[in-house]
Structure 1
Amino acid sequence: MEEELAALAGRMEGMLAELRGITADQRAVQEIERVDDQQAVARLIAEAVESSYELRAMHPIGTARTGREEQRSRRDVLDALRRGMTMRTIVHRSVLDHPGKLARLRELHSAGDLHRVISEPIQQLLIFDRAVAFVRITPVDNTPGALVIRQQSLIATFVDLFEQTWAKATDVSEPPDAIHRLTPRELEVLALIAEGRSNGGVARALSITEAAVGKHVAGIFAKLDLPASEDDNRRVLAVLAYLRGGAR
Structure 2
Amino acid sequence: MDESVSLSQLARRLEDVVGELRGLPVDVERLEDSELVRRQILQAAGSARELRAMHPVGSPDTGRQEQRSRRDVLDALRGGLAMRTIVHSSVLDDPRKAARLKELHAAGDLHRIIDEPIQQLLVFDRSVAFVRITPVAHSPGALLIRQQSLISILIDLFEQTWTRAREVTAPVYRLSPRELEVLALIAEGRSNGAIARALSITEAAVGKHVAGVFAKLELSASEDDNRRVLAVLAYLRGAVR
The TM-score, its normalising length taken from structure 2, stands at: 0.74
CA distance in 1, matches of 2:48, 2:210: 52
Partner of 1:73: 69
CA distance in 2, matches of 1:97, 1:242: 23
Partner of 1:219: none
Q: Given the alignment of the two structures, is residue 131 of structure 1 paired with residue 127 of structure 2, yes or no? A: yes
Q: Once the 2 structures are TM-superposed, how far is the Cα of residue 202 of structure 1 from its aligned partner?
A: 6.5
Q: Given the alignment of the two structures, is residue 234 of structure 1 paired with residue 209 of structure 2, yes or no? A: yes
The structure-2 alpha-carbon separation of the partners of 1:98 and 1:30, relative to structure 1 and needing over 3 Å to count, comes to same
Out of 11, 14, 17, the residue aligned to residue 12 of structure 1 is: 14
Unaligned runs of 5+ in 1: 204-228
CA distance in 2, matches of 1:105, 1:50: 22
RMSD: 3.4
Structure 2 matches for 1:198-237, cutoff 5 A?
A: 233-234=208-209, 237=212
Q: Once the 2 structures are TM-superposed, how far is the Cα of residue 81 of structure 1 from its aligned partner?
A: 0.5
Which has the higher mean CA deviation after the structures are superposed, 161-170 or 136-145? 161-170
Out of 88, 103, 107, the residue aligned to residue 111 of structure 1 is: 107
Contact 1:127–1:133 (Cα < 8 Å) also in 2: yes
Larger relative contact order (Cα-Cα within 8 Å, sequence gap ≥ 6): 2
User: Over residues 43-70 of structure 1, what are the superposed CA-to-partner deviations in whole Å (9 max), with x where a residue is unaligned?
Assistant: 2111111221211101111222100001
User: Over residues 100-121 of structure 1, what are the superposed CA-to-partner deviations in whole Å (9 max), with x where a residue is unaligned?
Assistant: 1111111000000000111122
The structure-2 alpha-carbon separation of the partners of 1:188 and 1:131, relative to structure 1 and needing over 3 Å to count, comes to farther
Contact 2:53–2:86 (Cα < 8 Å) also in 1: yes
Out of 157, 172, 184, the residue aligned to residue 161 of structure 1 is: 157
The structure-2 alpha-carbon separation of the partners of 1:124 and 1:188, relative to structure 1 and needing over 3 Å to count, comes to farther
Partner of 2:217: none
Instruction: Report % sequence identity.
Output: 52
- Please state whether the residue corresponding to 1:57 is helix, strand or coil: strand
Structure 2 matches for 1:47-62, cutoff 5 A?
A: 47-62=43-58
The structure-2 alpha-carbon separation of the partners of 1:61 and 1:235, relative to structure 1 and needing over 3 Å to count, comes to same
**Structure number having the greater helix percentage:** 1
User: Over residues 95-154 of structure 1, what are the superposed CA-to-partner deviations in whole Å (9 max), with x where a residue is unaligned?
Assistant: 222221111111000000000111122121100111000011111100011111101111
Partner of 2:36: 40
Residue correspondences, number:
213
